[in-house]
């Protein structure tokens, strides 16, 4: 199986984390899927992803409950908590929700942590397809620093690959199309380390390839280590190049460097991931933290900058908002056909220019036209320009503004723009 065929262009979808943290439930998953089908599907949005802790009955916020009992089957595999996902009763798992989402013309995804549940290890529960138990394959010293659910896996142990195979066999049975694996991406691969994420990623890849169903493999958290890029490109479809990304300018500013560093690794089936889009209504389910519930703290110009950078770089797009609360502005960001064409049909994106107050990117469209994006990283309005020499262009071009959706004239030697504070302008240049 060629893993690149299921992600020929950057995946686009919704993920529950930014709005519901660890506490998302069935109604919220289905409700956001219904919105996507009605308003966004025609623009290329298709994945509905249930993020972390769907197997924890007591989860009720973004905060993690340490060492709480988890819903699990006899083969050491975590299953949906029935009190939060009622359709999972009687062993159905996520199959009913996946079917519901598929019937909307969309695809379904889940989040998992690397490794095996600690409670399975302590109880020495069975592993399907092996005589080994959970205790036999665990690395007790390999733990996540921010979540207490799992132990890492000793990839050399008998039963280790069988465990991962059994997981993805179950996910295929449920109808899962996308798997986000956490606590595995931002590790420097060192051959002498007793634990290496490298081998666990490879086990996961083999398990997907043998399960009989195509699934996008997304790795988190970031930042991924640049030296591991070739390995990530070989085994994953997406990998995070940043830590958790939220709605503040300092993090958005840092993304210019990250995108520049990773731009040469963007190709079919291999998508360095800028993380989720914190726009719209987010931070909802945080009991005791009501001050965190908000509409995005990004200004409108900053939101345009984020979408423009993500699209010209060709990052996957995952919205984190409660979609049903979108205002017209937020919906307009997600339904800009001209910008989304850039995401789906461009190639060769590169940073052309970087100064104290300006970043310029350029890219190419499959139809032969060119894209130029201006970004203002300062705290005052700017008027940058870039020459055709910088862009590698000759001739006369018609210029179209992709945010304003209008043609603004012709250029022959240079292109310039007035750019708002922390804002972006993106143009498509067509030879005439």
Span 409-418, pLDDT tens digits: 999 999 999 9
Residue with tokens 């461009």: 346
pLDDT band at 258 (very low <50, low <70, confident <90, very high): very high
Average pLDDT over residues 48-74: 96
Residue 108 near residue 176, CB atoms below 8 Å:
yes
CA distance 20 to 85: 14
Give the pLDDT of residue 285: 80
Answer whether the bond into residue 221 is a cis peptide, omega within 30°.
yes
**Of the candidates 95, 106, 2, the residue with the CA atom closest to the CA atom of residue 47:** 106
CA distance 8 to 26: 29
Average pLDDT over residues 386-398: 97
pLDDT band at 286 (very low <50, low <70, confident <90, very high): low
Give the pLDDT of residue 195: 46
Give the pLDDT of residue 63: 86
Residue with tokens 């705290």: 379
pLDDT tens digit sequence for 151-193: 999 999 999 999 999 999 999 999 999 999 999 998 765 554 5
**Of the candidates 236, 225, 227, 173, the residue with the CA atom closest to the CA atom of residue 200:** 236
Give the pLDDT of residue 196: 67
pLDDT band at 387 (very low <50, low <70, confident <90, very high): very high
pLDDT tens digit sequence for 292-325: 899 999 999 999 999 999 999 999 999 999 999 9
CA distance 337 to 343: 10
- For residue 143 the two structure tokens come to 């733990």
Residue 420 near residue 301, CB atoms below 8 Å:
yes
Residues whose CB falls within 8 Å of the CB of residue 156, separated by 6 or more in sequence, listed in order:
none
pLDDT tens digit sequence for 143-160: 999 999 999 999 999 999
Tell me the CA distances in angstroms from 397 to 338, 387, 415, 418, one per residue in order.
17, 13, 10, 19
Q: What is the mean pLDDT of the chain?
A: 96
pLDDT tens digit sequence for 20-30: 999 999 999 99
pLDDT band at 288 (very low <50, low <70, confident <90, very high): low
Query: Is it the case that residue 265 has pLDDT exceeding 90?
Result: yes
Give the pLDDT of residue 194: 44
Give the pLDDT of residue 187: 73
What percent of the chain lies above the pLDDT cut of 70? Answer: 97
Give the pLDDT of residue 192: 47
pLDDT band at 91 (very low <50, low <70, confident <90, very high): very high
- For residue 432 the two structure tokens come to 């005439």
Give the pLDDT of residue 112: 98
CA Rg, the chain, in Å? 22
Q: How far apart are the first and last CA of the chain?
A: 43
């Amino acid at each position: 199986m060629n893993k690149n065929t299921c992600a020929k262009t950057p995946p686009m979808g919704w993920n529950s984390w930014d709005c519901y943290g660890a506490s998302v439930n069935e109604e919220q998953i289905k409700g956001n899927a219904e919105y996507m089908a009605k308003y966004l599907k025609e623009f290329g949005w298709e994945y509905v992803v249930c993020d972390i802790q769907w197997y924890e009955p007591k989860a009720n916020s973004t905060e993690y409950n340490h060492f709480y009992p988890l819903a699990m089957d006899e083969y050491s595999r975590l299953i949906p908590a029935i009190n939060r996902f009622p359709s999972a009763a009687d062993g159905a798992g996520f199959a009913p929700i996946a079917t519901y989402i598929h019937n909307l013309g969309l695809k379904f995804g889940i989040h998992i942590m690397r490794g095996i549940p600690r409670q399975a290890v302590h109880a020495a529960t069975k592993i399907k397809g092996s005589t080994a138990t959970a205790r036999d394959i665990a690395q007790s010293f390999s733990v996540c620093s921010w979540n207490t659910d799992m132990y890492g896996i000793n990839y050399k142990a008998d039963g280790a690959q069988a465990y991962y195979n059994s997981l993805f066999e179950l996910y295929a049975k449920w109808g899962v199309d996308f798997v986000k694996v956490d606590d595995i991406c931002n590790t420097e691969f060192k051959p002498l380390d007793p634990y290496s994420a490298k081998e666990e990623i490879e086990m996961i890849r083999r398990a997907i390839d043998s399960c009989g169903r195509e699934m996008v493999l997304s790795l988190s958290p970031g930042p991924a280590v640049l030296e591991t890029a070739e390995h990530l490109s070989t085994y994953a479809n997406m990998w995070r190049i940043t830590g958790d990304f939220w709605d503040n300018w300092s993090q958005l500013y840092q993304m210019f460097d990250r995108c520049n560093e990773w731009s040469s690794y963007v190709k079919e089936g291999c998508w360095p991931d800028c993380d989720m889009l914190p726009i719209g209504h987010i931070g909802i389910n945080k009991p005791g933290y009501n001050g965190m519930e908000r509409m995005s703290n990004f200004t409108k110009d900053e939101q345009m900058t984020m979408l423009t950078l993500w699209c010209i770089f060709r990052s996957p797009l995952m919205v984190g908002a409660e979609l049903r609360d979108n205002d017209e502005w937020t919906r307009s960001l997600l339904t800009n056909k001209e910008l989304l064409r850039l995401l789906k049909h461009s190639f060769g994106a590169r940073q052309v220019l970087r100064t104290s107050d300006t970043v310029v990117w350029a890219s190419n469209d499959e139809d032969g036209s060119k894209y130029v994006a201006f970004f203002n990283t300062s705290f005052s309005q700017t008027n940058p320009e870039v020459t055709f020499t910088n862009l590698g262009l000759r001739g006369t071009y018609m210029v179209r503004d992709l945010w304003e959706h209008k043609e603004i004239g012709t250029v022959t030697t240079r292109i310039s723009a007035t750019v708002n504070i922390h804002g972006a302008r993106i143009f498509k240049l067509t030879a005439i």
